[in-house]
Each structure stands twice: as C-alpha cells, then as structure tokens.
Chains A and B, each alone.
Chain A
C-alpha cells in the first residue's frame, strides 16, 4: 500500500514536471529540484547535482535522465527492492513524457499555424525571458556548500565556465574536472 502511494506521488510529480517544464533541459532543473529535493526529500542536493553530471555524459535529455534516476532511487531509498525501483523509474519516465504526448497530439490535430498565431506569440513573449531566469536560478540553487566545498571548487567553476563559453566539449570538461577532483582532494 505504501509502495502504491509512492508510485502515485512519483507519477503526479513527474507529470507536473512534464507539464510545466517549458524551455526543456536546464530550464526544467529548478522545477525538478524544487519538487524532488525541497518538497519531497527523495534525494539530496549533491545527489541531484550528480544526476545532472551523469546526464551530461550519457545520451538523452536531462528531464528523462533525472526521471529515470530519481524513480529508482526514491523507491529503493524508501526501503524497497530492485524490481520495485525499476518499476518506479519506468513510471517516472512515462509520467514526464505523457504531457508532451497529449499536447503534441492536440497540436497536430489543430494545426493552425501556431508559430504565427498572435496569442501564441504573446504568451511566449514573457515566457522566453522568464526561461532564461529559470536557467540562472538552476545555477544559483546549485551554488551551495554541498557542491562548493572550498576555494578549489570555485577555481574549477571559473575554469570550466570560461572553457565552456569558448565551446569546449562538455563531456571532456566533466572528465577533466573529475580527474582534477581525484588529484586535489586527498
């Protein structure tokens, strides 16, 4: 019964994330963090950061990756086994995708040139700059004592930020900072 309730909550939370996750990718991070870290305490902030790191180095969009990962971890952290965890991760992954499926089906049914529709344009006119604010919030929310343990963390941050603005491959940057961590944190 307890497991069933957890499944329902996971489904509802990830459905909500799929429904309000405009802008995709990083813009969805504050919403995911707000729900799974702050509201439901399924995982810690540093776990959440690790998921983002893993998402960067594995295929697929961040929203799926975190749904799959959190579905499994939330269930196994709740004291349930592997199989229950896998079911949990399938539930979250489907839940985060269903809003897109419904909306896309509607869009394809009523294919009025949405792009040129003035009301559509109007609703996006404030949403687009707001999405940039959401991405900034994603970065700010992760700048905490768990992820930045000392001044060396800030050096890594500054170097990676510059290299990434210069279009260095993110996977390479993550690998290099992993090596850096291994060397400097003894």
Chain B
C-alpha cells in the first residue's frame, strides 16, 4: 500500500515541476528514480528511455508507466500514470476555465500576438540538433523533407505517415535479408 502511494507521489511531483514536458523531464525522473530511490539502475533507466521513445505517447507518461509496472505491476503503472497526469490536468483545466473568459480582452490579445510567432520559433529550434542525433545525412534527408511537405502542403494525416514509415523500415530489412540469403 505504502509503495503504491509513493509511486503516485513521486510522479505527481515530477509532473508538477517539469515545464515544457518531454526531454526537460529526463534529469528529474532520473534523479528521483535512480539516484534517490534505487528503483532502477542507471543502465535500466537508459533502456526505459529507449523503450519510452519507441512507443507512441508522451515520453514522460511512458517512463512513468514503465517504472510503475516494474515496481508493482499493472496497478503500479495505473498509479504512477495518474500521478504524472494529474498536475497538468488541474493546471490546464483552471487555465481553460479562466482563459476562455479573458481571451477577448485587448491586452491579452496584444500579449498573445507577441507570443504566437515565438512559439513557432520554439518548435522550429530543436530541428537542427534533432537532425544530428537522428543521423540525418544526404542519403536519408529526403524522408523528413517529404514528410514535412506532404503534411504541410498536401494535408496528409500524420497517421498515414507513421504507418508508412514503419512499413518502409520493415520492408527494407526484409529486402536486405532476402539479398543476403541469395
């Protein structure tokens, strides 16, 4: 019982104190789960991250679910998952209720006129470093370019992009294996 509660609390704390989500959460999760509590070894933590990135959904949620499941099975993952979801749920719900009333306010509108292009810049800025870490070269640069153009200009649903990318990757391995056999 005590450990369920602890799982909930640890991930509630992580959920409440990480702004911006995603990669910003990794050092905090590592500190709580590896350094403070010894729930996972450092190497296991790296594997957890790799798996969390390989399945769909926010990485922070996936990591929380994995750690919860490792500690206390399905119920453990339910509690760690709830823990990481609740803080942002409460915060955004309050903002949604309040913001919808202030949105038409001219001062708020001026502020957001300044913020909107900044948000677009924040989305674009990690592209370079991500390209490096995903080993984008002249050989495979057509993939992100084709994806970006077809989603942006042709309005292709990202669902099809994901399905096509997974199939292409598997087909490629299949083809390579066939060639080795011969």
Interface flags for A17-41 (1: CB within 8 Å of B; 0: not) read 0111111111011110010001000
CB of B27 within 8 A of chain A? no
List residues of chain B with CB within 8 A of the CB of A85: 96-97
For B, the interface residue count at a CB cutoff of 8 angstroms equals 93
Q: Which residues of A contact B119 (CB under 8 A)?
A: 49, 52-53, 56, 142, 147, 174
Say whether A56 contacts B122, CB under 8 Å.
yes
Within 8 A of A (CB), among B111-163: 111-128, 130-131, 134, 136, 140-141, 143-148, 151-152, 155, 157-159, 161-163
Contact B96–A89 (Cβ < 8 Å): yes
B16 within 8 A of A: yes
Docked complex Cα distance between A23 and B110 (Å): 33
B144 near A164: Cβ-Cβ < 8 Å: no
Interface pair A130/B152, CB less than 8 Å apart? no
Q: How far is the CB of B44 from chain A (nearest CB, A)?
A: 11
A149 to B89 CA separation, bound complex (whole angstroms): 31
Q: Report the 5 A-B pairs with minimum CB-CB distance, sorted nearest first.
A: A181-B114, A60-B88, A133-B147, A100-B57, A61-B21
User: Which residues in A have some Cβ–Cβ distance to B below 8 Å?
Assistant: 16, 18-26, 28-31, 34, 38, 46, 49-50, 52-65, 68-69, 72-73, 76, 82, 85-86, 89-90, 93, 96-97, 99-101, 103-105, 107-108, 114-115, 118-120, 122-143, 146-149, 153-154, 156-161, 164-165, 170-171, 173-174, 177-182, 184-186
In the complex, given contacts A101-B77, A139-B127, what are 6 additional A-B residue pairs having Cβ atoms less than 8 angstroms apart?
A24-B57, A89-B93, A130-B144, A141-B151, A157-B117, A177-B115
